Amino acid sequence: MRRWTITLALASTTLFAQATNDKSILGFTASNAAKEHALEAQFDAKLNRDDLRNWMQRLAGRPHHLGSDYDRQNTEFIASLFKSFGYDTHVEEFQVLFPTPKKRLVELIAPEKFTAKLFEPPLPQDATSGQTNEQLPVYNAYSIDGDVTGDLVYVNYGVPADYDELERRGVDVKGKIAIARYGGSWRGIKPKVAAEHGAIGCIIYSDPRDDGYYQGDVYPKGAYRNENGAQRGSVMDMPIHPGDPLTPGVGATTNAKRLDRKDVDVITKIPVLPISYGDALPLLSNLAGPVAPPDWRGALPITYHLGPGPARVHMDLEFNWNMVPCRDVIARLPGTDRAEQWVIRGNHYDAWVNGAADPISGQVAMLEEAKAIGELARSGWRPKRTIIYAAWDGEEQGLLGSTEWAEEHGDELRQHGVVYINSDSNARGFLEIGGSHTLERLTTQVARDVNDPERNVSVLERRRDREQTLATSEEARKEARERQLIRLDALGSGSDWTPFLQHTGIAAMNVGYGEEGGGGSYHSVYDSFDHYTRFVDPGFPYGIAQAETTGRLVLRLANADVLPLEFTTFADTLSRYVEELTKLAQTTRTEIEERNRLIRERAYEIAADPTKTYVSPKPETPAPYLNFAPLQNAVARLQQSAREYDRAATSIPSDAPNAASRETALDHALMHIEQALTTSQGLPRRPWFRHEIYAPGFYTGYGVKTVPGVREAIEQKQWNEANQQIEVVAGVINNYAAEVDRAADIARGRAE
Amino acid sequence: MRRWTITLALASTTLFAQATNDKSILGFTASNAAKEHALEAQFDAKLNRDDLRNWMQRLAGRPHHLGSDYDRQNTEFIASLFKSFGYDTHVEEFQVLFPTPKKRLVELIAPEKFTAKLFEPPLPQDATSGQTNEQLPVYNAYSIDGDVTGDLVYVNYGVPADYDELERRGVDVKGKIAIARYGGSWRGIKPKVAAEHGAIGCIIYSDPRDDGYYQGDVYPKGAYRNENGAQRGSVMDMPIHPGDPLTPGVGATTNAKRLDRKDVDVITKIPVLPISYGDALPLLSNLAGPVAPPDWRGALPITYHLGPGPARVHMDLEFNWNMVPCRDVIARLPGTDRAEQWVIRGNHYDAWVNGAADPISGQVAMLEEAKAIGELARSGWRPKRTIIYAAWDGEEQGLLGSTEWAEEHGDELRQHGVVYINSDSNARGFLEIGGSHTLERLTTQVARDVNDPERNVSVLERRRDREQTLATSEEARKEARERQLIRLDALGSGSDWTPFLQHTGIAAMNVGYGEEGGGGSYHSVYDSFDHYTRFVDPGFPYGIAQAETTGRLVLRLANADVLPLEFTTFADTLSRYVEELTKLAQTTRTEIEERNRLIRERAYEIAADPTKTYVSPKPETPAPYLNFAPLQNAVARLQQSAREYDRAATSIPSDAPNAASRETALDHALMHIEQALTTSQGLPRRPWFRHEIYAPGFYTGYGVKTVPGVREAIEQKQWNEANQQIEVVAGVINNYAAEVDRAADIARGRAE
């Protein structure tokens, strides 16, 4: 009979500096924690920068987008690596819809003629930039085909609020072509909102203010986007659902039932193409009409006008709507006594072009981590839980590989999935981490134990020092100074965690380094080995830091005596969200009231400059008070349950009877608990998204909306829906609290 | 025996909307208020837009800077107008030092060659832009002569905080030439601070972000500064003292004792020249070194670097240090029974070039106002108090005309001066008004009675509607919605009120319209009749609004039964200032503490990017707690005294004995009361500035510092001085409160 105590240290009041000397690991007994530290030291010693460099050079050596020949070669290379590391490896293939360009034309036809180059020229300083035969040209995938001509209107970032501003100035996009700049939202939002407002076409360009010379010297002199650089990318309506457009909700296997393309709801309604700022300048400088509002102005040397016209644009786009194979590499290291619990770790390997940063920098760090864990396994150690590595294909098109796999294996995943750990691009700098808030202590303890390669302190301390030095409010300073735990960013979308967390209900996180290495190579031909090794992470020190970080996460999750989840921080985070929501409702109500008053008093009209067009806003229906009580009560109950769980889990007698079976029972209670945050009906108007706490915003695309059902109902002033969603989420949280209670009972030895 | 009640309505709780129906006038009995309204209606009827247009065309017809032939012609023209209006008019002449360029050279000598054009070319669309023979070239007056060569460093706005940022990045200007952009401070601060940091030369350019195409279409297509436009202007160290550099504190009469030029303390220490953004581009694009911080970046299509070098610049400047005549036109309309009380109204008439906006737009509105008042006087009405109109010369060089006149007539002014009303440039838009806070109700009531020419509501309501629609915080919204009175901006410097308010202690205000008509013609050859009538105030409706506004101020001050000063608003404003100061001290103390802690913990160093130079800040001596009690007690006492005065002034029995002599006695108590806010020793290190509540900032130049002795001591972390200055200001406020008490006693009939 083993003796164990789960070291939770939850109510610790030790100051941060002391906490960094703490060697405890959540979920481990003290003696197993010591063994784990020893194992991790062995793990670290096996990591080698040269592998990262060599594999990046290999994998990013040629363009390797979904369906390309080199992508297939990379599949095989990655699979062979996993096999050589000792993993049980296979390739799982799906058939997906992937349009590539047949015709691309953007031309200014009045008041002068100009045809957009739509081309990123080879550079002598960039060895792979000349592989033009294999490069996917600059385009947006899942744009509809279309040949349109219209006057141009500048719509800023093209988010809904921008159209309110246009309306104030008497400008609309109906029957016109909208030109939006990248940024401010995920790109797919721009054609979606433009189409909602009646635009017939959409151009997206990279303004040098956000992504070009305003940020730093441009490539090849510096790291930033030059006048020819353009951003490829998918514009599939992913906030509805990611994955293959033809097979929503099910795996895109060869024989899967497929939608007709005309019935697909995630292809854009209007044609859309991305262009460089070199191509955008003649278009924008030929706009007249009102001067753009100050925060709409970019860094081109012109006066930004809104239009419409006199710039008149012709766009002609046509695509090959082909089916292509999408191949995931799945590598498994079976666990010992808890083999039925899967710790899943993934990073995609497909790119838009050569993709040295995106995604190969993350892929090679994951491969190195898998290599070291494989070597540990060969030397006799075995994980308690099963570890699954996944190299995803088709992420760039809309998380195709991960989504199809998660859909295909949904039942197994709900049964076996414990945590999904994602990564993507990696760069020099600071630890950036988001995820389910039950994982804050786990990630904090890992960050405490990883050394920053530049400053020889823990990456936790470096991150905290940065937050402290950047904090501008006393509140932020206090948080950075006093809060022991990393505050995880809530996850929206943008990489492969989405099908696991938001569709399947598996606790997830996304981990990477960044902020120091950078530039403007994103989704361009210049995202190359040459660019990466000059600017992004020369020498790969942060590739190694990444492997040390995600490797520890995998190892601790795989080895823990009991799964290292914590509920008090999650409950407190929920309580913050509910407070935000009540404030949002209050502010929205007050603003409507105030605006209606000013409209009645003609204040907007009186204040406006009569020499300029000004359309006063319309009065809105006053907002009701919402009943937040169910949500507030549910969160209060969860806070109570979480405290009880902590007490139970920390006070388990050191020689409890049936310790092993109690551990297993507790694990089973914990491993499925995130699923209690999902509902079978999912979010309003997008049932694929089932998580009631985290989702990408319907109008942000990547950016998270927490408690999305309630928050988006308030934002969109759907008051009945807001009240209904409060009830839904309250029910979910109450169920979740009941699960926490059950786990506490098991910890106390009261349950079966 | 007359019956009178001063209508003060001080404690009114009426809402704004009702208040706008109020016809009371502060300082007038109800029946005299009715007469005053009738008089003002006659006044309005005499105003004629054609005069403004004709006079502007005449006065701005040729370049007319200080000392020029056309300036002299304008003197005579303005004097003849005042005479024709019936004023007792004379020209008062001073002899002042005014350097004009002999040699101007700015050239890039490495890494490539470029010579700055320093020239604003004639434009066919601008009739006076070709008068090149008479134009003062682009330069900064009171730059020292100098021939310097050095590497270039970009210093953003060139204010002290910018040099802290440079230091963090390991860049200094010692032995180098600083290039600063206009904005962020008054221009004279830039060479002053550059010299304090060891620079050997200073270039100031107009960045298109602040003043060029980023703001709007450039001239002549639009109103904004084009690539050749440059901003002339004085760089005399006016925060030390304005006026003729050779005669600080005394009138620059022919026989005045003059300083030797080498002993003058307001000429720059290093040569300085302004350039256009066309001339700046080759200089800035040849800078390397660190990339400028995000908020330092302008709108030129380059990556902004800090340097130093490789841009290497040669500047060679030489000036004719001539004595020139400075001629003020002084026009007097004597009062009846209170002729010894002077209401002074001024606007300068000299310009840098043609100066249609600056200052002729204000000058012609003042002339029109004077014309109408002259006609009223001819038709039988006479002001109770004496009205003095002043058209100042030499404002652009450093408030020369007004300062020399105020210095020369200091004793008379302290004896007779009641209020000084200033104006300068005027444009289409909203009423903008600053001044002594005893004048808030007077100005509010005037704004209530002037009609906005564009929207047919009062200019008060239009201003308030604008504040309401622009307010972003609930606090700002509430203030805009509920506060009846205009909140006057405190006056710093930048025009001719300074010698009256801050040197002599005469309550002052500055009045103008703006924000809708605009552009970038400031201090360039393109500030022309053509530019003004196309863009700034076409048809002169706001010239008329300005005359209606300032005319009412003059008439009410001249006619009031008792001077319309109010003390509760002033006391409450002071109380806000003291609250700001206590917060500033608190914040400064906390920030030093926090920064020192982060320095001790090496947090800045750890957070910094090791591939970039980063110099951690030095620890500072902790800040002590300051004793604000004397100031807080003084303000509390003044609040009490002000309330007592209100009670006394509103409850004067309607048939008090000796009403006339009591009125006069009360007036005499009130008219000198602003002088109680001055001290004979003045502010630390700049004794010319004697007002203890309002001053231009030592490091802002134009921008106001309220309670400057205390505020600047805290900002500069001179803690002993801060405590001393608290005592000084507390003493001043206590004396002021005693004066208010004395006025209350007079109102009650207790004093003689």
Query: B533-560: per-residue pLDDT in tens?
Result: 999 999 999 999 999 999 999 999 999 9
Most B CBs within 10 Å, among A300, A454, A465, to test the B interface: A465
Query: Structure tokens of A547?
Result: 């492997």
Hey, how many other C-beta atoms are within 10 angstroms of the C-beta on B661? 10
Q: Which whole number is the average pLDDT over A278-304?
A: 98
**Chain A residues within 8 A of B462 when measuring between CB atoms:** 606-607
pLDDT band at residue B655 under the 50/70/90 scheme: low
Q: CB-based burial of residue A69 (10 Å sphere; 0-12 exposed, 13-18 middle, 19+ buried)?
A: exposed
The half-sphere exposure of A12 on its side-chain side, counting CA atoms within 13 A, is 21
Distance CA A464, CA B600 (A): 15
Output the pLDDT for position B7: 41
Render pLDDT for A123-133 as a digit per residue (tens, 0 to 9): 999 999 999 99
Residue with tokens 């020029």: B68
Do B474 and A590 count as a contact with CB atoms less than 8 A apart? yes
Strands B272-275 and B201-205: parallel
B233: phi > 0 → left, psi -120 to 50 → alpha, else beta; which? left
Nearest to B728 by CA among B693, B699, B685: B693
Do B606 and A455 count as a contact with CB atoms less than 8 A apart? yes
Output the pLDDT for position A9: 37
B565 near B673, Cβ under 8 Å? yes
Residue A82 pLDDT > 80: yes
A505 near A691, Cβ under 8 Å? yes
pLDDT band at residue B654 under the 50/70/90 scheme: low
Alpha-carbon dihedral sign for residues A128, A131, A134, A137: positive
Residue B28 pLDDT > 80: yes
**Chain B residues within 8 A of A598 when measuring between CB atoms:** 465, 468-469
Q: Which whole number is the average pLDDT over A529-534?
A: 98
Find the DSSP H helices in B66-181: 69-85, 160-168
Output the pLDDT for position A474: 87
ipTM for the predicted complex comes to 0.94
Lowest-confidence pick of A75-79, A548-552, B10-14: B10-14
Strand, helix or coil for residue A507: strand
Q: What is the CA radius of gyration of chain A?
A: 26
Render pLDDT for A587-619 as a digit per residue (tens, 0 to 9): 999 999 999 999 999 999 999 999 999 999 999
Q: Which whole number is the average pLDDT over B127-151?
A: 98
Torsion of CA A710, A711, A712, A713, to 10 degrees: 40
Most A CBs within 10 Å, among B15, B16, B214, B285, to test the A interface: B214
Render pLDDT for B396-425 as a digit per residue (tens, 0 to 9): 999 999 999 999 999 999 999 999 999 999
Render pLDDT for B446-504 as a digit per residue (tens, 0 to 9): 999 999 999 999 999 999 999 999 998 889 999 998 999 999 999 999 999 999 999 99
**Chain B residues within 8 A of A457 when measuring between CB atoms:** 606
Cβ within 8 Å of residue B268, ≥6 positions away: B140, B142, B143, B144, B188, B191, B192, B195, B202, B235, B237
Residue B5 pLDDT > 50: no
pLDDT band at residue B749 under the 50/70/90 scheme: confident
Count of H-run helices and E-run strands, chain B: 24, 16
Q: Which amino acid, residue A507?
A: A
Residues of chain A that touch chain B, judged by Cβ-Cβ distance less than 8 Å: 208, 213-218, 222, 224, 291, 297, 299-303, 429, 454-455, 457, 461-462, 465-466, 468-470, 474, 477, 516, 590, 594, 598, 601-607, 609-611
DSSP 8-state code for residue B228: T
Output the pLDDT for position B651: 61
Residue A2 pLDDT > 90: no
Q: Which whole number is the average pLDDT over B51-64?
A: 98
Render pLDDT for A178-234 as a digit per residue (tens, 0 to 9): 999 999 999 999 999 999 999 999 999 999 999 999 999 999 999 999 999 999 999
Lowest-confidence pick of A75-79, B13-17, B118-122: B13-17
Q: Which whole number is the average pLDDT over B332-350?
A: 97
DSSP 8-state code for residue A473: S
Do B468 and A607 count as a contact with CB atoms less than 8 A apart? yes
Strand, helix or coil for residue B10: coil
| CA of B214 vs chain A CAs: smallest distance (Å) | 5
Residue B1 pLDDT > 90: no
Do A606 and B516 count as a contact with CB atoms less than 8 A apart? no
Output the pLDDT for position A648: 87
Distance CA B568, CA B566 (A): 6
pLDDT band at residue B653 under the 50/70/90 scheme: low
Instruction: Give all domains of chain A, ordered by start, each with its CATH number.
Output: 25-95+324-559 (3.40.630.10), 97-323 (3.50.30.30), 568-588+622-748 (1.20.930.40)
| CA of B667 vs chain A CAs: smallest distance (Å) | 38
Distance CA B472, CA A605 (A): 18
pLDDT, averaged across chain B: 94
Closest CB to A468: pick one of B216, B222, B603: B603
Residue A690 pLDDT > 70: yes
pLDDT band at residue B4 under the 50/70/90 scheme: very low
pLDDT band at residue A750 under the 50/70/90 scheme: confident
Output the pLDDT for position B16: 44
Torsion of CA B393, B394, B399, B403, to 10 degrees: -60
pLDDT, averaged across chain A: 94
Output the pLDDT for position B656: 63
State what percent of residues in chain A have pLDDT above 70: 96
| C-alpha to C-alpha distances, B287 to B277, B294, B302, B305, nearest whole angstrom | 15, 16, 10, 6
Residue spans of beta strands (DSSP E) within A285-354: 312-333, 338-348
Residue A299 pLDDT > 90: yes
Q: Which whole number is the average pLDDT over A385-405?
A: 98
pLDDT band at residue A751 under the 50/70/90 scheme: low
Do A601 and B297 count as a contact with CB atoms less than 8 A apart? no
Query: Structure tokens of A737?
Result: 């609290």
Strand, helix or coil for residue B219: coil
Q: What residue in B sits closest to A299 (Cα-Cα)?
A: B299
* Residue environment code for B161-186, b if the CB has 16+ CB neighbours within 10 A, otherwise e: ebbebbebbebebeebbbbbbbbbbb
Q: What angle do CA B706, B707, B713 make, to 5 degrees?
A: 110
| CA of A216 vs chain B CAs: smallest distance (Å) | 5
Distance CA A613, CA A620 (A): 22
Hey, how many other C-beta atoms are within 10 angstroms of the C-beta on B475? 9
**Chain B residues within 8 A of A297 when measuring between CB atoms:** 214, 299
Q: What residue in A sits closest to B290 (Cα-Cα)?
A: A216
| CA of A579 vs chain B CAs: smallest distance (Å) | 19
Alpha-carbon dihedral sign for residues A369, A375, A379, A381: positive
B677 near B689, Cβ under 8 Å? no
Do A465 and B598 count as a contact with CB atoms less than 8 A apart? yes
Residue A12 or B335, more confident: B335
Q: Which whole number is the average pLDDT over B199-224?
A: 98
Q: What residue in A sits closest to B304 (Cα-Cα)?
A: A214
Distance CA B155, CA B287 (A): 12
Strand, helix or coil for residue A232: coil
Output the pLDDT for position A16: 44
Output the pLDDT for position A569: 94
Nearest to A135 by CA among A59, A62, A231: A62
Output the pLDDT for position A5: 41
Distance CA B20, CA B464 (A): 12
Distance CA A450, CA A458 (A): 5
Q: What residue in A sits closest to B538 (Cα-Cα)?
A: A611
B449 near B552, Cβ under 8 Å? yes
Query: Structure tokens of A731?
Result: 């029910």
Output the pLDDT for position A658: 73
Output the pLDDT for position A7: 41
Q: Which whole number is the average pLDDT over B593-613?
A: 95
State what percent of residues in chain A have pLDDT above 90: 92
Output the pLDDT for position B522: 96
Torsion of CA A203, A209, A215, A219, to 10 degrees: 40
pLDDT band at residue B12 under the 50/70/90 scheme: very low
Do A214 and B594 count as a contact with CB atoms less than 8 A apart? no
Residue B345 pLDDT > 60: yes
